[in-house]
Structure 1
Amino acid sequence: MALASRYPDVEIPDVSVPEFVLAAGRDKPDAPALIDGLRGDVITHGQLAAYVDRVAAALHARGLRKGDVVAMFCPNTPWYPVVFHGIAAAGCVMSPINSLYTPDEIAFQLRDSGAKILITVSPFLDRALAAVEKAPVGEIVVMDGAEGHASLVDLLSTDAPSAQVDFDPADDLVTLPYSSGTTGLPKGVMLTHRNLVANVAQCRPLIQLGADERIIAVLPFFHIYGLTVLMNQGLAWGGAVVTLPRFDLEDFLRTIQDHKITRAFVAPPIVLALAKHPLVDQYDLSSLTSVLSGAAPLDEQLALAAEKRLRKGADSGVTVAQGYGMTELSPVSHTTPDLGAEPPGAAPGSVPKGSVGFAVPNSECRLVDPATGEDAAPGTRGELWVRGPNVMKGYLNNPTATADTIDADGWLHTGDVAVVDENGCYTVVDRVKELIKYKGYQVAPAELEAVLIGHPEIADAAVIGVPDEESGEELPKAFVVRAPGSTLTQDAVIEYMAGKVAPHKKIRIVEFIEAVPKSAAGKILRKDLRAAG
């Protein structure tokens, strides 16, 4: 049975992402749009629009046209949104690359996406050059400048005419992030202009950002959560987005204090620090009104502990809650509303801390018994299916994976198991999928297994996520079958993987076994590995 959102439908403008997001700034061109949290540099809403126009013009002058892919490999800075929206305004597709990726991982994404230009920063240039040797692109632009490469200043100073693009928002892609989906290797998630415009509009009734909001952007813009919820949502409603290049607790706390941050969109490890780290008591965080966690499950007791601590001495009554989504949903499908923004008939503050809140407007959900394919009985668990305008167009060049994730009726099968209460609040309780969630990142077991098997002393391997009681997340654990005669050690396996993958994909635990349990069809029986520890 389809369960409609308890919120009335909202209007979704039929426009491009830049036209929608930058519209709020037209009425307040001198107000800050982007602020460097460490340096204090400011880009106003008026400057943002002008810079976006110039970046789009520079890309068109280079011969790029609608549908061409431009990859971005850089940390959060106030210039990231400038470049993203410049790419989008040119009709091109921005493919964000994880800042922690190795050259091999970067090369895979460049090759798979068909990127024509790579935009990066000088501290990342060594990895970018190594990647481009394996997956050539037409040009590397280094935003802060490097010998032999165009810089962001060069793009902004172009006198080329403004780009004129005829958009079809429902069909034209705007971004191509990479996700492992419900299983398997990373795949390009095709998100259209309508997908992103819809998701910002869908969140509006629940997350009622004001024009005077200050949002701290420490979660990376290369992650769809950062791109949509922090960056585009903040700018679309006229607020100021305060950027940090990486998470450092002291910088994070100081930025909240000095810039009077009102909202923090975070991941569970940051909530853990807010709840327990002694450094928190040294800063005035009373400007905060909301801490909303996403990207991974947030423990109910941890949310309560963080909220209790932040409310000490605060006049705002800060709330700590969570939402739910996935890259393929642009990303938000459910979230906890601001106090007073509950749907009709729901009492203020009625969302349990362990819940991910209500389904966003214009969406429907189903809970389906994975064993039978039938709708789960009321009050019982089922795999969460979602349908709405935020559902991706599909996976790039992968119709099989697309069909495995989105059925013929448009339902996206999330792979997560949830339950819904009588008020319409959803709680995610388990997962069907194999993905490991580590510090808000998706880690695909199949990808790590492929790297492990590349070691000459490893005959076979399997990877699962195992619970970490301290963080409440999962740690990647490898079950390794040594090659005959090998004396390979646990430390050697961990060291080998550390040199091959990004930090969040590192193997944290190794166990040697005689054989990897597999089905007759050759599928790894991960449930047997979990049962064995």
Structure 2
Amino acid sequence: MSFRSPFPDVDIPDTGIYDFLFGSITDAELEIPVFIDGPSGQVTTYGQLIAHINGVAGALAARGVKPGDVVALHSPNVPAFGAVFHGILRAGATATTINALYTAEDIAKQLLDSGAVFLFTVSPLLPQARAGAEQAGLDASRIVVLDGAEGFASLRDLLGELAPAPRVEIDPAEHLAVLPYSSGTTGRPKGVMLTHRNLVANVSQASGLLGEGPQRILAVLPFFHIYGMTVLLNLALRNRSTLVTMPRFDLAEFLRITSENKCTQIFIAPPIAVALAKHPAVDEVDLSSVELVFSGAAPLDANLGHAVEKRLGCIVRQGYGMSEMSPVSQLIPLDRDDVPLDSVGFTVPNMECKLVDPASGDEMPVPEEGTSEPGELWCKGPNIMKGYLGNAEATAETIMDDGFLRTGDMATVSADGVVTIVDRLKELIKYKGYQVPPAELEALLLTHPQIADAAVIGVIDAEGEEVPKAYVVAQQGAELTADAVMEFVAEKVSPHKKVRAVEFIEAVPKSAAGKILRKDLRAREAEAS
């Protein structure tokens, strides 16, 4: 039995993302700061941004870039990201955003797979960008270094050409706007084909639930990730908000920039929530301007969220999504204090979802009261991708004939439509036939005052049984033993969920978006065995 959003459908304009974001801008709004560079304080207004977008689009068109071409953008969060990203789209091309942490080999793979004809990067990332471009056969003349480097065109060079933006006709429902890369539910990274309509739809679906009107937003989550691209960048532009950018996370800088710029909203992943809840430096700055902390990209434990609320005197919310859904499918609205914080809230407007038993393939009923049993979450709506680039097989495995997308995540739904993510279907630990969600144990471990961070995976014990193993980062100066960790968990969970092995590590491996890289921990286990 499927369930829809409890909120009425919203209108989704039949237009490209540039016209959607900037088509109705007023003269007064052109003077509003759109970007403040966190480290330097340099300000960019909406008027300057639009001029830069059009300048980038014109320069690309003058270089032969046309609708259907792919242009790569490899950059951390800097104000120029917005101009180049939307300049690529304004030219009718497709932007493929590359993780700023990628190696040359990773960059080359994405350039080759996407067929990118140009690459924008920044000077600190130029060595790996240039090496990746060489491996992919992309000539150095097709590399633009935003902040300038000898022998390469810069953003200033492109804007100085004053080339007019081209007139481009596109079908928003079919024309690819962005091509982020995602592993999806299985396998190697794949190009996620998102149209202009997908992006317009998801901003429209989420905006009302996250509050409309301008805010001052700390932009530390990477724009190159779909979460930062939609929920930070595009949603902020639509609401005429000001984005205070940080190229990388550093706690001291994070706190300084938030305080000095009086940011009202912070979008984070759970690792930053751990710091906000536990680090003593938080008490040394004035964060009274912060009204909202919104977490995504990985599960946020309710106790951790409430600890942040109490310490900062703000509200904390979380949501759920994936690149293949542009990305948001569920979130807790700002005005709903009654929704459990360990849930991901309600399905966004214009979407239909269902839970499917992964063993039988049968749809699971929505309960008349209480909460359902866990099932794989399937979603359908105008924000669902067209498919994976050049991979019909993976597309067919992910998007069903009736348009539902398999998320690969196990979830429950309550009678009133509140969705709770249990864990990744492929990451559930099977201990003697019982399902053990790693995320549940990780959330519990983080409640221990002497644990700074933790991750859990399934490992094979001496008897050939898969058991939960915790990788633990202890707080500085903590005197903590493996036995103490296991006893702490055992007192609070069912017997089959006990942690049965513990290893202390310096840091939990995580992606730029804050997701635990359990594959790296599994590789560590394989090397040790």
TM-score greater than 0.5 by the shorter chain:
yes
Within a 5 Å distance, the mapping from 1:246-325 to structure 2 comes to: 246-311=248-313, 318-325=314-321
Within a 5 Å distance, the mapping from 1:400-415 to structure 2 comes to: 400-415=393-408
Distance 1:434 1:135 in 2: 33
SS of residue in 2 equivalent to 1:64:
coil
Within a 5 Å distance, the mapping from 1:20-35 to structure 2 comes to: 20-23=20-23, 25-27=25-27, 28-35=29-36
Q: Deviations over 1:198-237 (max 9, x none)?
A: 00000022011312x1011000011000010001100111
Aligned partner of 1:206 among 196, 206, 209:
209
Aligned partner of 2:341 among 329, 334, 353:
353
- Contact 1:23–1:236, Cα closer than 8 Å, also in 2: no
Distance 1:24 1:80 in 2: 22
SS of residue in 2 equivalent to 1:386:
strand
Relative to the length of structure 1, the TM-score reads: 0.81
Q: Classify 1:478/1:430 alpha carbon distance in 2 versus 1 (closer, same or farther; 3 Å).
A: closer
Q: Is 1:224–2:212 an aligned residue pair? A: no
Equivalent residue, structure 2, for 1:457: none
Distance 1:191 1:117 in 2: 19
Q: Classify 1:123/1:292 alpha carbon distance in 2 versus 1 (closer, same or farther; 3 Å).
A: same
- Contact 2:5–2:350, Cα closer than 8 Å, also in 1: yes
Q: Is 1:172–2:175 an aligned residue pair? A: yes
Equivalent residue, structure 1, for 2:373: 380
Q: Classify 1:466/1:135 alpha carbon distance in 2 versus 1 (closer, same or farther; 3 Å).
A: farther
Distance 1:511 1:466 in 2: 21
SS of residue in 2 equivalent to 1:116:
strand
**What runs of 5+ residues in structure 2 fail to find an aligned partner?**
430-437, 446-450, 461-507
Distance 1:418 1:8 in 2: 23
Q: Classify 1:11/1:426 alpha carbon distance in 2 versus 1 (closer, same or farther; 3 Å).
A: same
Distance 1:304 1:292 in 2: 12
Aligned partner of 2:159 among 156, 160, 180:
156
Q: Classify 1:79/1:104 alpha carbon distance in 2 versus 1 (closer, same or farther; 3 Å).
A: same
Q: Is 1:120–2:121 an aligned residue pair? A: yes
The farther-off stretch of 141-150 and 375-384 is 375-384
Distance 1:7 1:408 in 2: 26
SS of residue in 2 equivalent to 1:383:
strand
Q: Classify 1:13/1:397 alpha carbon distance in 2 versus 1 (closer, same or farther; 3 Å).
A: same
Equivalent residue, structure 2, for 1:398: 391
Distance 1:357 1:473 in 2: 25
Distance 1:426 1:33 in 2: 34
Distance 2:22 2:262 in 1: 23
Measure how far apart 1:189 and its partner are. 0.3
Q: Deviations over 1:291-314 (max 9, x none)?
A: 010000001111111111112xxx
Equivalent residue, structure 1, for 2:97: 96
Distance 2:109 2:84 in 1: 22
Distance 1:63 1:37 in 2: 35
Equivalent residue, structure 1, for 2:52: 51
Q: Deviations over 1:240-261 (max 9, x none)?
A: 1110000011111111111111
Distance 1:410 1:373 in 2: 16
Q: Classify 1:155/1:475 alpha carbon distance in 2 versus 1 (closer, same or farther; 3 Å).
A: farther
Distance 2:24 2:149 in 1: 35
Distance 1:432 1:512 in 2: 22
List structure 1 segments (4+ residues) > 4 angstroms apart after TM superposition.
Answer: 464-468, 470-473, 475-479, 501-506, 512-515
Equivalent residue, structure 1, for 2:432: none
Distance 2:16 2:36 in 1: 24
Distance 1:61 1:514 in 2: 55
Relative to the length of structure 2, the TM-score reads: 0.82
Distance 2:19 2:44 in 1: 18
* Percent identity (aligned): 53
Q: Deviations over 1:363-407 (max 9, x none)?
A: 011011111111113322211110000000100000100010000
Distance 2:9 2:520 in 1: 44
Q: Deviations over 1:268-291 (max 9, x none)?
A: 001111100000001111111110
Equivalent residue, structure 2, for 1:342: none
Amino acid at match of 2:407: T
Measure how far apart 1:159 and its partner are. 2.8
RMSD, aligned α-carbons: 2.5
Equivalent residue, structure 2, for 1:511: 525
- Contact 2:90–2:165, Cα closer than 8 Å, also in 1: no
Q: Classify 1:231/1:473 alpha carbon distance in 2 versus 1 (closer, same or farther; 3 Å).
A: farther
Q: Is 1:336–2:332 an aligned residue pair? A: yes
Amino acid at match of 2:359: A
**What runs of 5+ residues in structure 1 fail to find an aligned partner?**
312-317, 340-347, 437-463, 480-497, 516-533
SS of residue in 2 equivalent to 1:94:
strand
Equivalent residue, structure 2, for 1:193: 196
Equivalent residue, structure 2, for 1:236: 238
- Contact 1:118–1:141, Cα closer than 8 Å, also in 2: yes
Q: Classify 1:466/1:299 alpha carbon distance in 2 versus 1 (closer, same or farther; 3 Å).
A: closer
Q: Classify 1:466/1:276 alpha carbon distance in 2 versus 1 (closer, same or farther; 3 Å).
A: closer
**Aligned positions, number:** 454
Equivalent residue, structure 2, for 1:62: 63
